[in-house]
Amino acid sequence: MPLRTERLTTKGTKEHEGKPERLWFADAHLRDERLIQSLMAKEQTAVFGGGCFWCIEAVFQRLNGVTHVESGYMGGRADQATYKQVCGGDTGHVEVVRVTFDPDEISYRDLLDVFFGTHDPTTLNRQGNDTGEQYRSVIFYNSDEQREIAENTIAELTAAKAFSEPIVTAVEPADEFYVAEGYHQNYYNENSRQPYCMFSITPKLAKLEKKFAEKLKA
C-alpha cells in the first residue's frame, strides 16, 4: 500500500472526512518515521578512551543531551577485538565509549570538558590501578571539526596549567569500533554494589555531580 504524503490533520476534522482510516494511519506512520529520521540525522557521535570503559560509560550516561553510550574497543592493530584479547595487551586496542549526543542540548566541547574533568589525562597508559595500553587517554575524532576542538581544548588546558603534569591524551582519527560484549554494557547501573564499582566508579560520579551538576540529567 503506497503511503500518502498530504498534510496530516486531526482525525474528525473536515479535512480528514472521507479519507479511509487505513490511509490516515499510514500518514501518521510516515510522519513518525520522518520525525525519527530527522532526530537521528541531527545526532552526532564522539569516542573517548580514558581508563576502564565501565567508568567513562557511567559518566557520559548521566549527561543531559546524551542519548546513548556504548562500550567497545578502537585503535588497535588487529582486525578484531574481544575483551580477552584486549586485556592481553597484544592488539593495541583501547577500551572506549561511543557517545551519541544531541548537539542542540550538549556540545562536543562540553563532552570534552567532562572527559578531562573526570579522568587523569596526565598518566600514560594508566588510570589509577588500571595499567596497560588499553587504558590510555585518547580522543578519537569523527571529523576535522572534532579534531580541531579537541586540539584547542588541550592547548587551552595546557596554557591554563589545569594539571600539574603535561597532558598525554592522544587525538587520533576514529577507526573501526568493535562493540564490547553484552555484559560490559550499562555495567555500573547493573552492578553498582560490585567492589570495583564502589571503589572506582562511585567516587568518580560524585566528582561529576560536584563539578558538572548543571549538565546532568534530572
Among 52, 55, 87, 197, the one annotated catalytic: 52
**Under 8 Å between Cβ of 188 and 148:** no
How many of the other CB atoms lie within 10 Å of CB of 64?
15
Pairing of strands 44-49, 94-101: antiparallel
Residues contacting 131, CB < 8 A, separation 6+: 125
In the Cβ-directed half-sphere of 216, how many Cα atoms lie within 13 Å?
13
Closest to 73 (Cα-Cα) out of 184, 171, 180: 180
How many of the other CB atoms lie within 10 Å of CB of 104?
9
Verify whether residue 55 is a known catalytic residue: no
Catalytic residues: 52
